[in-house]
Structure 1
């Protein structure tokens, strides 16, 4: 069932606002070619209506539901490009690939989408690593509730929407530590695939996040 059809009217209103502001329905970080084309057409129409004076956002800047750039949804490189005014009325600037790869926010700055994601996955995997081997019914229920609330409150709204969509087809498995750990690994791999990253061997999730590697380098 699509997220906007869940019996939460406030969520339906939220997504309607997002679509009205951006011209695009809520979507994961990797928009489809058709969605990108529709957005570009909308931007061209907006430029024509204001005589081409409307500035464009750098590639990668994600708008929040209020129509303003969402810092928690945007990479540091794209945010810096926008902040420094590296835009044009006729072209959309794109930082060099080497600059993007090296660009990281200073440690005392608000996290960008990448740092937020990395720290979040560290927390979630560590959570599964400390989950009971044989959880009680109450612990299982609490864990399902936590995962549900996490999907609604995650600061990057587009990431949260993507997570909820995946979770709708892959219900949390919380009957044991092993099941929960593998489920979280699969959720992480789903994101890795979208971002073009390698998948992690979920058979090794416990070594990575709980016991340490067998070669002893974590001891």
Structure 2
């Protein structure tokens, strides 16, 4: 009945980006080969499970054009990869202007802190 609503990125998109950015900020500075493999599997699997079919297609296209493997050698590169992905999507949907690395970090740190304080009180 509400299937079309659940597929809308307006419903889940912002939370998905928050989650993905949190994943990058908790990624090891010097990941093992096994960790790199696990994160590659996770990131590539999203092309099959995002609720929105158009989003899945756009994500799949991005992965084909921008290999994730070189970005998994360090936290810094992984953070930058997901930020470039986020900016690419925002540009394509003409939703927002691109964010710098510093703007992204500040935004998500503030949201994480706010959520933590809300949940712990």
TM-score using structure 1 length: 0.45
Moved beyond 2 Å, runs of 4+: 69-74, 202-212
Name 2:64's counterpart in structure 1. 168
Higher RCO (Cα < 8 Å, 6 or more apart)? 2
Unmatched tracts of structure 1, length 5 or more:
1-68, 75-112, 213-219
Verify the 8 A CA contact 1:181 1:205 in the aligned structure 2. no
Name 1:118's counterpart in structure 2. 14
Verify the 8 A CA contact 1:73 1:159 in the aligned structure 2. no
Verify the 8 A CA contact 2:48 2:56 in the aligned structure 1. yes
Higher fraction of helix: 2
Distance 1:194 1:156, change over 3 A: same
Counterpart Cα distance in 1 of 2:30 and 2:110: 18
Distance 1:154 1:195, change over 3 A: same
Verify the 8 A CA contact 2:5 2:11 in the aligned structure 1. no
Map of 1:88-127 to 2, 5 A cutoff?
Answer: 113-127=9-23
Name 1:11's counterpart in structure 2. none
Cα RMSD (Å) of the superposition? Answer: 2.0
| SS of 1:159 mapped into structure 2 | helix
Deviation at 1:203, TM superposition (A): 4.7
Does 1:73 find its partner at 2:12?
Answer: no
| SS of 1:199 mapped into structure 2 | coil
Counterpart Cα distance in 2 of 1:195 and 1:158: 11
Map of 1:11-160 to 2, 5 A cutoff?
Answer: 70-74=4-8, 113-160=9-56
Name 1:6's counterpart in structure 2. none
Q: Kindly tell me the number of residue pairs found equivalent between the two proteins.
A: 106
TM-score using structure 2 length: 0.78
Unmatched tracts of structure 2, length 5 or more:
112-121
